[in-house]
Structure 1
């Protein structure tokens, strides 16, 4: 009788999935058009300024989404809203036109004042183009009086540039731009939830890339909120230089683009430049959130995309935060552990004080 170690099986599943998705000709690799030229230089400068600049710049621009009701039942209502991205002129001009307007879905209980509810903003993981998966994750939380807001990221869904195939961003600069604009939009939406809607508690969560962005947003928020990075690394360096996505990256195209600026003879020089650029996304360099005991990481024991050390590194950088381990890999945990993600959301919100105590 052959005994199969489940952890090994889950790890292999990640690699099989990654091979089918990233090593075939089904879709082009990430960054097939290179680094992004002067746009990358602009974004490197702006990312370096991110937390001292944006972190002190409160309040952000207050967005006013134009809402329409998609459906409503006896107990809940789903609305979708559209708003012009609130990022500054330089970022706005760097975005593709398709990304200028942001879209958001908002699922909330009916007949309950926002002061007696919590709301969690869900940010997109790599390849999460629509609202549906995150709405399914948040939907069961309605019975806990927790509303769900879902942001469609720039470069994704209806905001995807015409020439981009799926989630495969054309340039490295697009990855930094996606992150910076997502953070700006998320902070403005949290400000709307607080000042306009008046929710009693708030949180931000995300899976994989969305978890990195959620950690950044939670770090920069001026008051305590629940921060929930799921299956996410401490930096994009881990994802693209250590994990399976390194096989989905157009290293030759990046080398050729780099060679036009500097004599480059080996792929390793290009990988080193990638590490330097993506080190700007290192969340351990961001401030510790205002309420670290309301930070809960959920990580997988056998993740082929995100190694354990990356999760532990961020948890150590944020003393008081918690890591919860689920058995599985990146893909299997994404599919099988939604209940654990929901439990983390409930528990993190429970550790916050109500802005105004419900009557």
Structure 2
């Protein structure tokens, strides 16, 4: 009975937080600029072409050459920030706002170390995570366990936020697909850089919520086994925007009236069905099973108002051998209270990978 009441409390907290952030007039809704017109058509076409051939995606990805500066260093550790040109295809680059063309990363390592005897995990941003700090706090304690942290600033976020965008509220539906496509390409290039330029003995990718969806995609497409850690993450963005609390943060009436798709007479339900169809392109169950599913660990929340349990379980079912762990709480409370569980999952997933032969 006590656990049931606590679960209700966590679930209500998600809805209260969501109502305050998303249902008041304190901020603009998602997609107040509509569908995105020709950009959305382009992205749908590009992504649909990928699905039949996802298992044999081109490798290596575009090579990146980050320019680094030291932010601080202590006797034991060092934080650097790097900038590199996004490795997206020419089609995606033209669709991205100019502010998104340069990617930024933070790289937390011991002050002196041998990469071949260390692991490194790339941390991807959840919705609203504009800075490096939260993910550095998550990864920082892992230095003691020989795990470095690389944090990618997402396109459309932080210093890469377009001038007309308010906060995290993307202007167009096409921006959500652009954000995901660019993040995946950048993360893949960073992992290649960690593997081949730096020579880390093990690598992985993690993310919370939206970042977890992107982490799952990156882990799926990587040609060799890596640790893959989606936290509080749905199997598709359609779940978050069509089922979860974010449906209250979406400008449905604007989408209904957007003449860019020549369907201004659609009913609200038809608009939502259109959204489900578009966001089905983010359905990770359509992606290949990662090379080592045993090193995939999902962490879900028992009373998540944003991400229902069935969505977490759908992806785990699609990837036999992967593991689901549950933390007690909602989306917001788990985000705040369960960093130790997220860290434990990172350590365990990396432990299930072999070291590169050169480290033996």
Question: What TM-score do the two structures reach when normalised by structure 1?
Answer: 0.97
In structure 2, distance between residues paired with 1:179 and 1:343:
26
Q: Distance in 1 between matches of 2:315 and 2:20?
A: 30
Greater CA deviation, 190-199 or 50-59? 50-59
Give the 3 Å change call, closer, same or farther, for CA 354–33 of structure 1 in structure 2. Answer: same
**Are 2:256 and 1:255 equivalent residues in the alignment?**
yes
Match of 1:9, SS state, is helix
Unaligned ranges ≥5, structure 1:
none
2:106 is aligned with 1:105? yes
Instruction: Give the equivalent residue in structure 1 for 2:35.
Output: 35
Q: For 1:40 and 1:292, how far apart are their aligned partners in 2?
A: 32
- Residue by residue over 1:56-104, the C-alpha shift from the partner in whole angstroms, topping out at 9 and shown as x without a partner, is 2000011010000000111111000000001111100101010000000
Deviations 1:22-70, CA, capped at 9 Å, x for gaps:
0111110000010000000000111223352584200001101000000
Aligned to 2:241: 240
Does residue 140 of structure 1 match 2:141?
yes
Aligned partner of 1:10 in structure 2 is 10
Q: How does 1:128-277 map to 2 (within 5 A)?
A: 128-258=129-259, 261-277=262-278
Shift of 1:258: 4.8
Provide the aligned length of Structure 1 versus Structure 2.
Answer: 358
- Report what 1:45 is aligned to: 45
Determine if contact 1:83/1:103 at 8 Å carries over to the other structure: yes
RMSD (Å) for aligned C-alpha atoms: 1.4
2:316 corresponds in structure 1 to 315
Segment of structure 1 superposing worse, 265-274 or 213-222: 265-274
- Determine if contact 2:37/2:260 at 8 Å carries over to the other structure: no
Gaps of 5+ in 2: none
Contact 1:123 1:207 in 2 (8 A): yes
Deviations 1:186-238 (A, max 9, x none): 00000000000000000000000000000000000000000000000000010
CA distance in 2, matches of 1:53, 1:232: 21
Instruction: Describe the superposition over 1:92-131 as per-residue Cα deviations: whole angstroms up to 9, x where unpaired.
Output: 0101010000000000112220000000000000000000
Deviates more, 1:44-53 or 1:245-254: 44-53
- Check whether the contact 2:220–2:290 (CA below 8 A) recurs between aligned residues: yes
Q: Give the deviation of 1:263 after TM superposition.
A: 4.9
Q: Distance in 2 between matches of 1:3 and 1:308?
A: 17
